[in-house]
Structures are given as structure tokens and as C-alpha cells.
Structure 1
Amino acid sequence: MKLVRIEVFNFRKLRRARLDMSDKQTLLVGANNSGKTSAMKALRKFLKDRGGIDTRDVTASNWAAIEQIAGAWTQEAEADLSPLLDQLPFLDVWLHADTSELHHVAHLIPTLTWTGGLLGVRLRLEPKKGADIKAGYLAARRDAEARQPDGTTDNGFALWPRDFREYLDKRLKDLFELNAHLLDPASFVASGAVAPPPLPALSEGIGANPFAGLLHIREINAQRGFADAGDGKGDDGELVHADSRKIASQIQPYFRKHIDPETDPTPNDVKALMAIHDAETTFNARLKDGFANAIKELEELGYPGGLNNPKLFIATQIKPVDGLDHPAAVQYDISGDTSGVKLPESYNGLGFQNLISMVFQLMRFRDDWMQVGKFKSKMVSPDDRGIEPLQLVLIEEPEAHLHVQVQQVFMARAHKVLRNHKDLEKEDSAFTTQLVVSTHSGHIAHAAAFEALRYFKRELPSHGVVPTATVANMKGLFGEDTQTRRFVTRYLLSTHFDLFFADAIIVIEGAAERILLPHLIQHHYPVLAAAYLSFLELGGSHAHRMRPLIEALELPTLIITDLDAVAEVDKGGKVVKQSAQPCYGAAQTTANNVLKTWLPKLDEVDTLLAPLLKALCHKAPDRPIAVSYQTPQNVTIGAVSKNVTPSTFEDALVLTNPKAVTDAARTEFSCRMTRAFAKSIAEAQSPEDLAKELFDRLAKKPEKAAFALDLLYIEDIKALRAPPYINAGLTWLAGQLKGVEGVLCQL
């Protein structure tokens, strides 16, 4: 048995979101405020807490429709609540079960013809039995209007409830409750638009907890309180917040459930209890002796005393768990030898505390589920343990306080910890564990399988007042193209996963762009400087392979690439293509796969440089993706100005910044290419001569990275300007991030 899909409707940022579940672990990734927390809260409130939903959980853009529905209610007409329920939060859960698991899911089977496979359940808010929502709201409105003083509406004052939202702010929990309905497995849609299937006719609710005995849910939330030694001390020197002793606080419930010697004591438990009894007797004797004088003095005052007043007696009762109820219950041996030097857990690093805490919680979740230790003694028989067949574990932001290597280790081993039990390790185990992790860490994402990623992407408010989010499934993204899938996943593994958390993506050709673009952006493009940009260094021959992923992310993406002009030449009677200096009217073509197969799907240089096109970048018609390549730019040498077309980022940069390049060549240890560029600038007689000199030098073992590093030595880095084609692209990208459709023009 396993969870196949969870669909969230009308809950916070998730107006309609589909979360396909991986068999083992599913990672929720995306930029800040993209809906990951909304998804985790929805899973918690619908499946774990089974309630606690309030008006703040309703998707904000739905309130206009809700107010319209409530505003149409009249005292005479009977209210149809179906439209209202469609606007309130609900959750569809799809799971897969075999016929051998019929005893677990019998109450979820919609028809007698079911022979295994999908089962669907909808959890939604419904009016409580006897609750008349329409009558209550209209009565509250009439009462408010009757009490409203004359003339006070002019200044905006109004008594509660001013609208239906305000009414539900106070009354939602009193009027509504969760109820579950069965879905028709035939209504399950494998792919396509996210839309809730209709409930079967005359559907009746089956209660708020349809997964009792079926689903074991545990959670590690993001608010894990840790404290460094010396922080947050009270007057008595103790840590103020008990949450700071996270591991110590976890040990006690684990002890009570699995170890407590007072529960069904074994021979070893009896020995431990006898030792505790002896210690208690000895300690009580010491207490009696120590308090004897104080108690005698109290009795001489006449209280307590007399026949009707009890005598004061001080004694201790030592319980096994008491020894764990103090800040130093968990200690670390830091001696490294036999000296046994130990410190309390609060003296360890926050990352180490967090790691141990999470792993211990995972072990506790597993052992609670499998009823390890004393749990077995509570069961009727070892064969009838009442264990749920499916465990769902939710973890929010496990990366807190962890350095990157530990993040990856934790993610790689978390599911293994949850399965480290003799009844779980077998492939054919009757018990399933599924892990859902939300994260902002590219290193956590790096450690997971690419197919396990679920990317949350923000949507502009086309249907309401606030942005919402949708989810992109990375599984099956590349279809049957295994070569492209292999390239993309290996590329991401070898570099980074930060594009899953970025505000925008910039695809670049090579090291020079990677070195200099951040400086250009920082000093000349403030909107981009404040954004989280992901740079993908791919080169023109590979960038198109990322197309399925980039289009699925739907992030504003600028592809900065080279024109890569080639021309046919005759070599010894054989016509071959070789790199050429870009030139309009020379029958050249491009060797760049992005330009040929993706954007703008053109291969003739004359077409790419045509007057209609040369002043703008090419933008995808249905996605925020644009490509920017070298186009003619104006260059002045002496009194001569002319348009010339550079061939790469480097010569375009030289043509735009001749003074900066000359200054860089004067620095100590500047590379040969930088000095050659400076010499060409000094000796050039015309713009065409300079462009040709630069092209010829780039054809001879170019030192592109060294050239870019030389430019970092110039005195005023702010003087460095982006070449016109890059300026056009960055200006467009900044416009996208401001939410304004940018104009791709040369400035």
C-alpha cells in the first residue's frame, strides 16, 4: 500500500495543486513564498491534526466569490451551500492498495466491483450537524444593523459582522468540521489540468478520520528550538525554554513507551527497580535526619500539631523517568580518553544538536510505529499488533544549523533510518514508509533523486487578489529522451540545485560571463542585484538540453549565448564549414543549437541579424524565456564610427569597454590575451580592423577566464558596462522580475 497523489484545493497559496508522491521520499522545493509551507500545513491539518482550519487558511483570492455567495442569501430562499463548500479548503487523497490489503481499506472501497488499485478520499469542511450557517449569518447581520447608530456608516464604522469573512473569523470552528467522502477511482486523471473530480451522487460522509488504523503520521516541524550554552538563562541558571533541551525532552516519551521498567517488568527490570527502591530508602532516611530540627521547630510553634492536624513528613519518591528530567540528562563525552570529561547537550553546536535530534525523532517514529519494546506487552497477542500498514513522515526544513555535507548525509539516510527494523528491511514488507521533506537547500535537493523533486512555482494573480502556486512534477519530465534526462541530472549533480530556489535563471556560455556578470549586475541592474539569480554555465551546444526543465520551472530565464557564425570554405576541393567573423550578407549560418532548435529556431545569420530582429532579443511566445546573442553594435575609432558584430562575449566586452581593457593590461601579471587586446585597441585604424584583430586573437588559444580575472583588477569596476546584447537581455529580465512585460531592445 502507498500514497499515490495528494491534491490540495483552496488552502492558502495552493488554490489547485497536485502533489504526486514518490514511493520512498518526496522533496518539496521552490523559491521563498512559493507554497511549500502551505503544502506541509495542509497535510498536517487534514491528515494529522484533522482540524484547526481557520479563515486564514482559505485562499485569499476566493473571498470575493465567498462574499458574493453569502451576499445572495435571503431570509426566504433556501441556501445551497455547495458553491460555498467548493470555495473552502479540501484535500483529495489517492492511495493504491492490493486485494490482499482489503481488511485495511474495506471502508474506503466505493463499489463491490473493486479488485485492487486506486482508492480516493476527499476531506473537506462541511457544516456541523444542526448548524444553520445561513440563518446564523443573516441573524447576526440583522442584529448588527439594528444596533448600528444612525449616521455612523459614513466614517466606515460597522458592528460585527461587517461581512461573511468577519463572521467566519469567529464562528468557523463552531459551524464547520472535517468530513470524508469516497471518490470514484474512474475519475482519477493521470496528468493534465488540476481539477477536483465530482463527488458521486448521494455521497455520504464517513467521518473526519477515514485513515484510522491505516495511516501512521508523524512530523518534524521547522520550529526546532535549540540554544547555545549561556543563552536564555533564568535567575536560577536554567534554560528558560524547555524546547532548548530538545533531545532530553524526546528521551522521556521514548523511555515511557519502550523502556520503562515498571511496565511489564522483566528480570532485569526487577533488578533496576530494587536498586531504585534501595536508593529511595537510603535517601529518605537522610531527608528525615536532615529536616528533623526544622520540623521540630515548626511543631513548637503549634503548627502542624494536635490530633486533627497531620504531621509534616518529607520523603522522596524516585520514578525511573525522573533521572532523565533535567538539563544534563543528555551529555557528550569530549575527553577522547579515559578521563571522562562530559558536558550537557546545550554546550554542543547547534548543528550537531539538530542532527541528533532529528535522527532520534526518526528512530522514535519508527519504533512507535513498530511498537518496539514495552509496546508489545500492551497488545493482545504478538500476531495481532494493530500496526498501520502505511507511515507518512513530514519534515520541514531539515537544513537548519547543518553545514552542507551533513545536509546531504541526512537526506541520503533519513529514509533508511525509518526502515531500520527487521519487519521493514525486506523488499516485500507489508509496511510502507513515505517521507515528505520541504526544503530551501540545494544541497538537500542534491542528495535526492531528481524524480523525487516537486517544484513549487509562483503564479501571478490572474484570477484573484494574491499570487498562488502550482506544482511541477520532475518525474517523467523528459519523457522517453533518456539521453537528455541523463545529461540534465548529471549536470545538476555535478554543479548545483540552486535553480530550484531562484527568482530567475541566467544561462551563460562560459567562465568569463560567470566571473563578470555578477559585477555588472551588482552595479548597473539594481532589480536583478536584489533577486536570487541562478547562473547555469552550459555553452551553446548544451543549453537546449535543459529546455524541458527550464520550461517546467516557468521562471524568468535569460539565455546569453554566442552567435557562433560559420561559413563554407573550400579546402583542397572539399567544402567545409569553419568559424567566421559574423557578417551580414556573407551567407553564413549559426552553429548554435539554442538558436537553431529552441529560440528563435533560425540558422541563417542574415535572418538573425535582419533589421527587424537585430534590435531585440527573441522571447518565447508562451513562457518568460528570452535569448540574447551578439548583434551589430556601434564602435568609434578616432573620428570613425561604424556598426560591427562581435563573435563572443569577450570581444563584445572589449568593443564596449576599450579603456577598461587598456587599464587591465597595465596591471602586473596580466595575461597575454589581455595585453594583445590592449595592443589591438591602440593600433586599430577603424572599427572593422579592431573587430577583425579581436576575432583572430580569440581563435588562438583564448585565455577567456584569465582575461575576465584581469578586468577585476581595474580601479573602478563600476566603469565596466555590459555589451549591448547583454544589456538588452538583462533589462528584459529586470522587467520580468518587476512584474512588467519588458521590451527587448538595444539601449
Structure 2
Amino acid sequence: MKIERIEVFNFRKLRRARLDMSGKQTLLVGANNSGKTSAMKALRKFLKDRGGIDTRDVTASNWIDIEQVASAWTQETEADLNPLLDKLPFLDVWMHAENSELHHVAHLIPTLTWTGGYLGVRLRLEPKKGVDIKAGYLAARQATEELKPGGTLDNGFALWPRDFREFLDKHLKDLFQLNAHLLDPDNFATSGEVVPPPLPALSEGIGANPFAGLIHIREINAQRGFADAGDGNHDDGELVHTDSRKMASQIQTYFRKHIDPETNPTLNDVKALMAIHDAEATFNDRLKDGFANAIKELEELGYPGGLNNPKLLIATQIKPVDGLNHPAAVQYDISGNTSGINLPESYNGLGFQNLISMVFQLMRFRDDWMQVGKFKSQVVTPEDKGIEPLQLVLVEEPEAHLHVQVQQVFMAKAHKVLRNHEDLEKEDSAFTTQLVVSTHSGHIAHAAAFEELRYFKRDLPSPGVVPTTTVANMTGLFGADTETHRFVTRYLLSTHFDLFFADAIIVIEGAAERILLPLLIRHHYPDLAAAYLSFLELGGSHAHRMRPLIEALELPTLIITDLDAATKVKKVVKNGERNVWESARPRSGAAQETTNHALKTWLPEMAEVDKLMVAPPNTLCHTDATQTIAVSFQTPQVVTLGEETQTITPSTFEDALVLTNPEAVKDAAKTDLACLMTRDFGEYIDAVSTPEDLATALFERLANKPEKAAFALDLLYIKDIKALRAPPYIDSGLTWLAGKLKGGVGAI
């Protein structure tokens, strides 16, 4: 048994979001403010807390429709609440169970003909029994109208409630409750648009907690409350410890549930309790003797005293858990030997505290679920053990305070910790554990399988429309193309996963662009400099392999690539002569074609260099202005050298950069550490007389052992780095990308 899918509707940014669940662990990734927190809050409020939903949880854009529904209510007409309920938050849970698990899910099967497969449950807000929402709202509005017609005072102050939302701000929890409804398994959609399936006719619901005894839900939220040693308030010189002792409090909880000798004591427990009793008696004798004079002095004052007043006694009661209720209950041995130098937990680093605390909580979740030790569940299930067959664990932003390596270790081990029990490690275990983790860390994502990622992507809204989020499932993204899947996953594993958290993606050719583009953006493109950009370094022959992933992410993406012009020439081979494409300087009318696979097969799907150079730029990059992906390659640019001005089409990023910044390149060539190619470029600029001659010299030099990365590094030495400008084809691409991030349609 497992949860197959969770669909969230009308909850914060998630107006319609589908979250397909992996069998073991599912990672929620995406840029800031993309909806990951909304998803975790929805899972918590619908499944764990089973309530706590308020008006702020309703998708903001829905209030227009909700107000229209409420404004149509009158005293004379009967209100149809279904349009209202369709706009309030609800959540669909789709599970998959075998026929052999019928005893677990008997209350969820929709028909007696069910023999295994999907089961659907909808949790939604509904009016409480006996509550007339329409009557309550109209009465509140009428009272306002009687007090002041129109509801607005002369100074503009409006009486409550001004609208239905303001009415629900105060009464939502009083008027609504969660109720569960069964869904028709035939309505489980394998793909396509996220649309809520209809409820069966006359469905009355089965209560707010249909998963009691079925799903064991636990959570580690993002606010874990750690503090450094010394944090806290001081009172008369004593440190008042706060919630920072998270490990100690967790250990106390674990102790009470699984170890406490006062619960069903064993022979060993009796020995411990007898020792505590002896210690308590000895300590009480000492207290009686120590406080004797003080109590006698109080009695001489007349209180307490007399026949009717109680006598004052000082006594202690030692509970086993008391030994763990102090700041040094959890300590760390920092000596590394037998000298026993220990420090309390608050004196350790926040990262170490966080890691140990989270792992310990996972262990506690597992042992609570499996009823390890003395803990016995109060939940009654069809099995004698009373153990739910499915555990769902939610972990929010585990990367807090953790170093990169530790983040990856945690993610790789978390699910294993949750399964480290003899009844869970078996291949045929009847118990299932599903872990859901939300994260902002590319290193956490790096440690998970690609198929376990769920990407939260922000929809690009129209002006004035509140943005919402959809979820992209990385499973099956590449279809049957195993070669592309292998390339992409291995590439990401060998580089980074930060593109899942970026505002935009820039695909580049090589090291020179990777070194200089961030510098150019910082000094000349302030809107891009303020954004989170992910650079993917891919040659033109491989950029198209990322196409399924980039198109699925729907992030504004600029592909900066080379024109890669080639001319067909005859070559002598073993079997005679044959025509081959040989690299050439881009020229019009030379029957050239590009060898760049991205240009030929992706954008703009053109091979002829003449068409690539003369077609309107906007048609090269996307089919319409709403597209989020554009390609930028070398196009004709005006170059001035001395008194000569000509139109030149560069062949690479490096020669385009030289043609755009000849003075900066000459400056870089003068440094003592300049590489040979940089010095050659400097000499060409001084030696040739026309831009055409310079372009030819640059092309020939770049074909002969180019030192592209070294050339880019040399440019970092120039005196005025802000004088360095992006070549025109890159400038137009970056300008388009900046426009996309600002919400415009962009143009190249």
C-alpha cells in the first residue's frame, strides 16, 4: 500500500497542483516563493492537524468568484453552496492498495466490486451541521446596514463586515469543518490537466479523519528552535534555558514512551525504581533536617500553626524522567580520550545539533510507529498490533545550519533510518514508509534520484493576476529516450542541481562564457544581477539534450551558443573522395550550414547560415512572444577599427568579444601573465587595418590551439573592468531575459 498522488486545490499558491508520490522519498524543489511551503502546509493542515485552515490559505485569486457567489445571496432565495465550496481549499489523496489489504481500507472502497487498485479520498471544508452560512452573513450585513446605510461612515471607515471575506476572517472556524468524501477510482487521471474529479451524487462524507489507523503521519518542520550557548534571559545571575534544548526534550519524550520504568515495570525496572526510592528517602531526611530551623521560625510567627492550619513540610519526589530535565541532560564528549571532557548540547555547533536532532526524531517516529519498547498505540486498527500499515513523514528544509556534505549524507540516509527495524527491512514487509522533503538546497536534491524530484514552477501571470504554481514530475520526463535521460542525470550529478532553485537559466558554450558572463551581468544588467541565475555549461552539440528538462521547468531560459558555420568541401578518404562539412568563417551567399544541433533541431530549427543571419531575430528564438526559451548566437555586428567601419559576423564568443572590446583586449595583452593567445590578439589589433582582416586573423588563431579559458582570465586583469561590454548577440539575449524576469514579453 502507498500514497500514489496528492492533489491540492485552492490552497495558497496551489490553485491546482498535482504531487505524484515516489514509493520511498519525494523531494519538493523550486525557487523561492514557488509554492513548496504551501504544499507542506496543505499536507499538515489536511492530513496531520486536520484543521486550522483560515482565509489566508485560500488562493488569493479565488476571492473574486467567492464574493460574487455571496453577493448573489438574498433572503428570498435558497443558497447553492457548491460554487462556494469549489473555491475553498480541498485536497484529494489517491492511494493504491492490493486486494489482500482490504481489511485496512474497507471503509474507503467505493463499491463492493473493488478488487484492488486505486482509492480516492477528498478532504474539503464544508459547513458544520445545523449552520446556515447564508443567514449568518446576511444578518451581519443587515445589522451593519441598519446602523449605517451603506456601511461606510463619513470619514471613510467601513463597518464590519465589508464583504464575505471579512465575515469569514472572523467566523470560518466556527462555520466550517473538514469532511472526507470517497472518489470514484475510475476518475484517477494518469496524465493531463489537473482537474478535480466530481464527487458522487448524494455523497455525505465519512468524517474528518478517514486515515485514522491507516496512515501514521509525523513531521519535522523548518522552525526547529536551536540556539547557541549563552542565548536566553538572565534572572538574578541564573541562565533561564529556553526551547533550545531540543535533543533533551526529544530524549524525554522517547524515554516516557519507550523506556520509563514506571510503565509496565520489568525486574530490571524494579531495581531502578528501588534505587530511586532509597535516594528520595535519604534526600527527604536531609531536607527535613536542613529546613527545620526555617520552619520553626515561621511557626513562631504564628503561621503556619494552630489546630486548623496545615503544617509545612519540604519533601522531594524524584521521577525517573527528572534526571533528563536539565541543561546538561545531553552532553558531547569533546576529549577524544578517557579524560571525560564533556559539554552540554547547547555548546555544540548549530549544524551538529540540527543533524543529530533530526536523525533522532526520525528514529523516534519509526519506533513510535513500530511500538518499540513500552509504547503501545492507542489507535485501534483491524490488526492486533494496532500499527498503521503506512507511515508518512514530512521534513521541511533539513538543510538549515548543515554543511554541504552533511546535507547530502542526511538525504541519503533519512529513509534508511526510517526503515531500520526488523519488520521494515524485509522485502515483503507489510509496512510502507513514504518521506516527503521540501528543500532550497541543490545539495539535498543532488543526493536524491532524479525521478524523486517534484519541481514547483511559478506560472508567469498576466498583469494584475495573482501568481500560482504548478508541479512538474521528473518521472518519465524523457519517455523512452534512455540515452538522453542518462546524459541529463549524469550531467546534473557531476555538476549541480541549482537550476531547480533558479529564477532563470543561461545555457552557455564553455569556460570563457562561464568566467566572464557573471561579470558582465553584474556591471551592466542590474535586473539580472539581482536574480538567481543558473549557468549550464554545455557545448552546442549537447544543449538540445537538455530540452525535455528545460521545457518542463518553464523557467525563462537563454541559450547562448555559437553559429558554427561550415562549408561543404571534398576530402580524400580511403575509398576516394567525399563531401564533408568543414568549419568556416560565417559569410553570406557561401552555401554554409550550421553544425550546431541546438540550432538545427531545437531553436530555431534552421540549418542554412544565410537564413540564420538574415531572419528577424524574434522568429529565431521562439514561436511567439509568450515563450520562455530563446536562443542567442552570433549575428552581423558593426565593427570599427581605426577609421574603418565594417559589418562582421563573428564565429565564436571569443572573437565577438575582441571585436566588441579591442581596447580592453589590448590592455589585457600587456600584462606579464597574459597567455599567448591574448598577446596574439593584442598584436592583431595593432597590426591589421580593417575589421575584416582582424576577423580573419582571429578566426585562424582560434582554430590553432586556442586558450579560451586563459584568455577570459586575462581580461580580469584590465584596469577598468566595467568598460568590458557583452557582444551584441549576447547583449540582445540578456536584455530579453531581463525583460522576462520583469514580467514583460521580452524581445530579441
C-alpha displacement at 1:557, in angstroms?
A: 0.1
Q: Which residue in the other structure is 2:10 paired with?
A: 10
C-alpha displacement at 1:659, in angstroms?
A: 0.4
Q: Which residue in the other structure is 2:431 paired with?
A: 431
Residues 484-528 of structure 1 show CA distances to partners (whole Å, capped at 9, x for unaligned) of: 000000000000000000000000000000000000000000000
Q: Which residue in the other structure is 1:686 paired with?
A: 690
Summarize the alignment of residues 179-328 of structure 1 with structure 2, pairs less than 5 Å apart. 179-235=179-235, 240=240, 242-328=242-328
Task: Give the conservation status (yes or no) of the 8 Å contact 1:61–1:464.
Answer: no
Q: Report the Cα distance in structure 1 between the residues aligned to 2:88 and 2:377, rounded to whole angstroms.
A: 44
With 124-133 and 231-240 compared, the bigger mean Cα shift is at 231-240
**DSSP 3-state at the match of 1:322:** helix
C-alpha displacement at 1:290, in angstroms?
A: 0.7
Summarize the alignment of residues 498-517 of structure 1 with structure 2, pairs less than 5 Å apart. 498-517=498-517
C-alpha displacement at 1:401, in angstroms?
A: 0.0
C-alpha displacement at 1:432, in angstroms?
A: 0.3
In the superposition, relative to structure 1, how do residues 6 and 306 fare at CA in structure 2: closer, same or farther (>3 Å)? same
Summarize the alignment of residues 120-159 of structure 1 with structure 2, pairs less than 5 Å apart. 120-148=120-148, 152-153=152-153, 155-159=155-159
**DSSP 3-state at the match of 1:242:** coil
Q: Structure 1 residue aligned with 2:616, among 600, 613, 620?
A: 613
What is the count of residue pairs matched by the alignment? Answer: 743
With 621-630 and 276-285 compared, the bigger mean Cα shift is at 621-630
Q: Report the Cα distance in structure 1 between the residues aligned to 2:44 and 2:378, rounded to whole angstroms.
A: 28
In the superposition, relative to structure 1, how do residues 160 and 701 fare at CA in structure 2: closer, same or farther (>3 Å)? same
- State the TM-score, normalizing by the size of structure 1: 0.97
Q: Which residue in the other structure is 1:674 paired with?
A: 678
C-alpha displacement at 1:232, in angstroms?
A: 2.4
Q: Report the Cα distance in structure 1 between the residues aligned to 2:377 and 2:2, rounded to whole angstroms.
A: 29
With 310-319 and 404-413 compared, the bigger mean Cα shift is at 310-319
Q: Which residue in the other structure is 2:358 paired with?
A: 358
- Letter paired with 1:184: D
In the superposition, relative to structure 1, how do residues 107 and 151 fare at CA in structure 2: closer, same or farther (>3 Å)? closer
Task: Give the conservation status (yes or no) of the 8 Å contact 2:93–2:120.
Answer: yes
Task: Give the conservation status (yes or no) of the 8 Å contact 1:215–1:388.
Answer: yes
Alignment of 1:114 with 2:117, yes or no, is no
Task: Give the conservation status (yes or no) of the 8 Å contact 1:614–1:632.
Answer: no
**DSSP 3-state at the match of 2:225:** coil
Task: Give the conservation status (yes or no) of the 8 Å contact 2:232–2:242.
Answer: no
Residues 580-625 of structure 1 show CA distances to partners (whole Å, capped at 9, x for unaligned) of: 0111110110000000000000001011012x33688522436310
C-alpha displacement at 1:381, in angstroms?
A: 13
Alignment of 1:558 with 2:558, yes or no, is yes
**DSSP 3-state at the match of 1:289:** helix
In the superposition, relative to structure 1, how do residues 488 and 334 fare at CA in structure 2: closer, same or farther (>3 Å)? same
**DSSP 3-state at the match of 2:590:** coil
Q: Which residue in the other structure is 2:721 paired with?
A: 717
Task: Give the conservation status (yes or no) of the 8 Å contact 1:94–1:118.
Answer: yes
Q: Report the Cα distance in structure 2 between the residues aligned to 1:51 and 1:636, rounded to whole angstroms.
A: 70
Q: Report the Cα distance in structure 1 between the residues aligned to 2:498 and 2:9, rounded to whole angstroms.
A: 28
C-alpha displacement at 1:363, in angstroms?
A: 0.3
Q: Report the Cα distance in structure 1 between the residues aligned to 2:649 and 2:464, rounded to whole angstroms.
A: 46
**DSSP 3-state at the match of 2:96:** strand
Alignment of 1:21 with 2:21, yes or no, is yes
Q: Report the Cα distance in structure 1 between the residues aligned to 2:66 and 2:383, rounded to whole angstroms.
A: 51
C-alpha displacement at 1:326, in angstroms?
A: 1.0
Task: Give the conservation status (yes or no) of the 8 Å contact 2:55–2:168.
Answer: yes
C-alpha displacement at 1:728, in angstroms?
A: 0.4
Residues 337-390 of structure 1 show CA distances to partners (whole Å, capped at 9, x for unaligned) of: 111011000000000000000000000000000000002598999971100000
Task: Give the conservation status (yes or no) of the 8 Å contact 1:616–1:728.
Answer: no
Q: Report the Cα distance in structure 2 between the residues aligned to 1:429 and 1:236, rounded to whole angstroms.
A: 57
In the superposition, relative to structure 1, how do residues 684 and 576 fare at CA in structure 2: closer, same or farther (>3 Å)? same
- State the TM-score, normalizing by the size of structure 2: 0.97
Task: Give the conservation status (yes or no) of the 8 Å contact 2:636–2:650.
Answer: yes
Q: Which residue in the other structure is 2:43 paired with?
A: 43
C-alpha displacement at 1:242, in angstroms?
A: 3.0
Task: Give the conservation status (yes or no) of the 8 Å contact 2:381–2:387.
Answer: no
Q: Which residue in the other structure is 2:647 paired with?
A: 643
With 519-528 and 376-385 compared, the bigger mean Cα shift is at 376-385
In the superposition, relative to structure 1, how do residues 200 and 668 fare at CA in structure 2: closer, same or farther (>3 Å)? same
Q: Structure 1 residue aligned with 2:704, among 679, 686, 700?
A: 700
Q: Which residue in the other structure is 1:727 paired with?
A: 731
Q: Report the Cα distance in structure 1 between the residues aligned to 2:135 and 2:57, rounded to whole angstroms.
A: 24
Q: Report the Cα distance in structure 1 between the residues aligned to 2:649 and 2:559, rounded to whole angstroms.
A: 19
Alignment of 1:603 with 2:607, yes or no, is yes
CA RMSD of aligned residues (A): 1.7
**DSSP 3-state at the match of 1:375:** coil
**DSSP 3-state at the match of 1:212:** coil
Summarize the alignment of residues 373-522 of structure 1 with structure 2, pairs less than 5 Å apart. 373-376=373-376, 384-462=384-462, 465-522=465-522
Task: Give the conservation status (yes or no) of the 8 Å contact 1:541–1:594.
Answer: yes
C-alpha displacement at 1:151, in angstroms?
A: 9.4
- Letter paired with 1:319: K
Task: Give the conservation status (yes or no) of the 8 Å contact 1:379–1:385.
Answer: no
C-alpha displacement at 1:571, in angstroms?
A: 3.2
C-alpha displacement at 1:742, in angstroms?
A: 1.3
Structure 1 unmatched ranges of 5 or more: none
Structure 2 unmatched ranges of 5 or more: none
C-alpha displacement at 1:309, in angstroms?
A: 1.4
Task: Give the conservation status (yes or no) of the 8 Å contact 1:544–1:597.
Answer: yes
Q: Report the Cα distance in structure 1 between the residues aligned to 2:734 and 2:103, rounded to whole angstroms.
A: 60
Q: Structure 2 residue aligned with 1:663, among 664, 667, 689?
A: 667
Q: Report the Cα distance in structure 2 between the residues aligned to 1:380 and 1:74, rounded to whole angstroms.
A: 47
- Letter paired with 1:242: T
Q: Which residue in the other structure is 2:629 paired with?
A: 625
C-alpha displacement at 1:714, in angstroms?
A: 0.5
**DSSP 3-state at the match of 1:32:** coil
**DSSP 3-state at the match of 2:472:** strand
**DSSP 3-state at the match of 1:540:** coil
**DSSP 3-state at the match of 1:68:** helix
**DSSP 3-state at the match of 2:79:** coil
With 583-592 and 562-571 compared, the bigger mean Cα shift is at 562-571
- Letter paired with 1:492: L
What is the percentage of aligned positions where both structures have the same residue? 81
- Letter paired with 1:71: S
Task: Give the conservation status (yes or no) of the 8 Å contact 2:125–2:176.
Answer: yes
Q: Report the Cα distance in structure 2 between the residues aligned to 1:61 and 1:167, rounded to whole angstroms.
A: 18
With 243-252 and 85-94 compared, the bigger mean Cα shift is at 243-252
Q: Which residue in the other structure is 1:367 paired with?
A: 367
Task: Give the conservation status (yes or no) of the 8 Å contact 1:248–1:329.
Answer: yes
With 302-311 and 733-742 compared, the bigger mean Cα shift is at 302-311
Task: Give the conservation status (yes or no) of the 8 Å contact 2:507–2:536.
Answer: yes
- Letter paired with 2:32: N
Q: Which residue in the other structure is 2:568 paired with?
A: 568
In the superposition, relative to structure 1, how do residues 734 and 237 fare at CA in structure 2: closer, same or farther (>3 Å)? farther
**DSSP 3-state at the match of 1:635:** strand
Residues 690-735 of structure 1 show CA distances to partners (whole Å, capped at 9, x for unaligned) of: 0000000000010000000000000111000000000000000000
Q: Report the Cα distance in structure 2 between the residues aligned to 1:555 and 1:587, rounded to whole angstroms.
A: 36
In the superposition, relative to structure 1, how do residues 265 and 438 fare at CA in structure 2: closer, same or farther (>3 Å)? same
- Letter paired with 1:613: P
In the superposition, relative to structure 1, how do residues 615 and 655 fare at CA in structure 2: closer, same or farther (>3 Å)? farther
Task: Give the conservation status (yes or no) of the 8 Å contact 1:617–1:729.
Answer: no
With 671-680 and 153-162 compared, the bigger mean Cα shift is at 153-162
Q: Structure 1 residue aligned with 2:587, among 583, 587, 599?
A: 583
- Letter paired with 1:158: A
